[in-house]
Homo-oligomer: A and B are copies of this chain.
Amino acid sequence: MTEIPDKLDPALIDRFAAIVGDKYALRDEQDIAPYLIERRGLWHGATSLVLRPGSVDEVSRIMRLATETGTPIVPQSGNTGLVGAQVPDTSGREIILSLSRLNRIREIDVLSNTVTAEAGVILQTLQEAADAADRLFPLSLAAQGSCQIGGNLSSNAGGTGVLAYGNARELCLGVEVVLPTGEVFDDLRKLKKDNTGYDLKNLFVGAEGTLGVITAAVLKLFPKSKGREVAFVGLSSPEAALSLFSLAMDRAGAALTAFELIGKRPYDFTLAHAQGVVRPLVDDWPWYVLMQISSGRSSEDSRALIEDVLSAGLEHEFVGDAVIAASLGQGDAFWNFRELLPEAQKPEGASIKHDISVPVAMIPRFIAEAAGAVASVSAGARVVCFGHMGDGNLHYNISRPVDGDDEAFLALYHPMNKAVHDVVRSLHGSISAEHGIGQLKRDELIATAPPMAIDLMRRVKAAFDPAGIMNPGKVI
């Protein structure tokens, strides 16, 4: 292993800067600041240098020099990650490698239904380019206006499109990766079937930049839907929501494109704190579901499908009440309501958040058992539960007691995490369904995952990054 220097030597900074040119080698504190600030304010890293290469070749030369000099590199794209994977440590000796200038959509192949995009392409830009080619790129998440494809793949992003189309991993057919040594691994294939050896692609996807730097990828496109209907549903219990989900899967199958569970508390918080939202349902319900059905055929078809599901749900008494959006505008308003849930929690004071998944059938049991676990840590703590129920994934957030103190509540961070995650583990779930590990959950992963899994991951890390310069201290 190469000796890693304690600080970045000015002469070394010059050598790195020469690769990209002075304009794209940021050394000034003010220029660097935006790359260090992440939106939750949980990590405060430091660096002396942000490199903004303009080509794969420049990335390759950066990594070659990094290997030669034992310089740790932190790849970063849109800087919207929620677990600190894109943030350097506080030593100042790690260089941020920003992929944002690699922002070319290299090709859209409408017949093969693929798009080849570089790591720095903003997700929303890619969605729009697909749309302009009469195709759908279904990855969709709150940060889509600023997150970038490289980060989406490195974190195996989820979001609201997973139910019907899969997560970032399932949308990716091929990758181009610069290895720690600077070698370029070109695996940009458009193939649906390829059984020629080990699945290397899926090692890089979700590795959070710890095995190499993803510089481009081939992603799947889909036919655009011709009809979309959104309904807001009131229900009596998570069990009713699970029954409705089963029913909707049975009736609509792949046309069921969203099934988002919303607890009464986040619903009420949003009505109380979010600007310009309209109450979706007249009556109050203990639970709500935002359900979307998309049809590849016509708007009449999606309308008939959602009416069929909801009327069967009412008949079986899974559904308490339901409103189908009367217009595209109302549908967007329902989605807007859903997307404001996290923000609307803020005025209620400090919160402790979880991003968990369990087998879909275990959702009601998780909700019941986790409530008890939370109460045992903080009697008045308020569960704010919502998420992608169809994927078994809940954002299980806890707000402090109404009259509680923020700091005192945040001091419960670790016991609260443990209490919730213990329930997750007892149900064979995941403590990070879609946000990843990064810095946030690394210690917990190492402490609680099967030792065999940690051992195998360490072997992979050592095999791909023997010098340990790729995003050190993240994941494993």
Contact = CB atoms under 8 A, between A and B. Distances in A.
A361 B453 CA distance: 40
Interface stretch (A7-15, A110-118, A400-408): A110-118
B360 A111 contact: yes
A40 interface: no
A223 B250 contact: yes
Given A199-B169, A203-B198, A456-B200, A193 B162 contact: yes
A195 B430 contact: yes
Contacts of A432: 194-196
A250 B190 contact: no
Q: Which of A183, A188, A456 has the most C-beta atoms of chain B within 10 angstroms of its own C-beta?
A: A456
Contact of A111 (B111, B179, B246, B453): B246
A45 interface: no
A197 interface: yes
Interface stretch (A124-132, A370-378, A459-467): A459-467
A369 to B, nearest CB: 17
Interface stretch (A18-26, A411-419, A444-452): A444-452
Contacts of A250: 223, 296
Contacts of A158: 193, 195
The range of chain A's interface size is: 35 or more
B463 A187 contact: no
A441 to B, nearest CB: 8
Interface in A127-164: 155-156, 158, 162
Contact of A200 (B109, B113, B457): B457
A167 B185 contact: no
Contact of A112 (B205, B360, B437): B360
Contacts of A358: 191
A167 B185 CA distance: 24
B191 A357 contact: yes
Can you tell how many copies of this chain the complex includes?
2
A94 B202 CA distance: 31
A34 B475 CA distance: 46
A183 to B, nearest CB: 6
Given A242-B111, A249-B223, A450-B185, A197 B457 contact: yes
Contact of A191 (B183, B430, B464): B430
A359 interface: yes
Contact of A195 (B179, B255, B433, B460): B433
A432 B197 CA distance: 9
A300 to B, nearest CB: 13
Q: Which of A255, A391, A436, A460 has the most C-beta atoms of chain B within 10 angstroms of its own C-beta?
A: A460
Instruction: In the A-B complex, list the 4 residue pairs whose CB atoms are closest, starting with the nearest.
Output: A111-B361, A253-B296, A254-B254, A194-B430
Given A179-B452, A194-B357, 14 more contacts: A112-B359, A112-B392, A162-B193, A191-B428, A192-B393, A196-B445, A197-B475, A198-B211, A200-B460, A223-B249, A251-B297, A254-B296, A456-B464, A459-B463
26 contacts: A112-B360, A158-B193, A158-B195, A162-B192, A169-B199, A186-B450, A191-B392, A191-B429, A191-B433, A192-B357, A192-B360, A192-B391, A193-B357, A193-B388, A193-B392, A194-B430, A195-B434, A195-B437, A196-B430, A197-B449, A197-B453, A199-B199, A251-B296, A251-B297, A254-B296, A462-B463
Interface of A: 109, 111-114, 155-156, 158, 162, 167, 169-170, 179, 183-200, 202-203, 205-207, 211, 222-223, 242, 246, 249-255, 296-297, 357-362, 388, 391-393, 428-437, 441, 445, 449-450, 452-454, 456-457, 459-464, 475-476
